[in-house]
Amino acid sequence: MNISADQLFKILGDLTRLRVLVLLSREGELCVCELTCALGEIQPKISRHLALLREAGIVLDRRQGQWVYYRMNPTLPGWAHAVLSETAKGIVGQAPFNSDRRALDKMPNRPGSACCA
């Protein structure tokens, strides 16, 4: 996996993508429906941003039935992981990241229990 610093920072420059990556850093893997709930955004918008992250090689996806799950790409360079990790640590407690976490924690019927819809 090879991503340049300018590519990564352009991607992080969008608040929706940054919020997605912070949640993925914390949770490990999330379904699209979990991200839409946490961010309070519509599915097409979240999916568009996830597609860009996938095309850049920052996240990987897997399909399970009708659900698509996303996770950070483990082959990202160490410096990129460090940037994302330190960013996630640095924004703990700040809006909108803290409300994203609360919304996700309160989400009813998260995947693995019933289903998300």
pLDDT tens profile 8-67: 999 999 999 999 999 999 999 999 999 999 999 999 999 999 999 999 999 999 999 888
Domain containing 69 equals 5-106
- The pTM (predicted TM-score) of the whole model is 0.91
Total domains present in the chain? 1
Q: Is 57 a domain residue?
A: yes
Q: Is 12 a domain residue?
A: yes
CATH at 78: 1.10.10.10
3-state secondary structure the chain: CCCCHHHHHHHHCCHHHHHHHHHHHHHCEEEHHHHHHHHCCCHHHHHHHHHHHHHCCCEEEEEECCEEEEEECCCCCHHHHHHHHHHHHHCCCCCCHHHHHHHHHHCCCCCCCCCCC
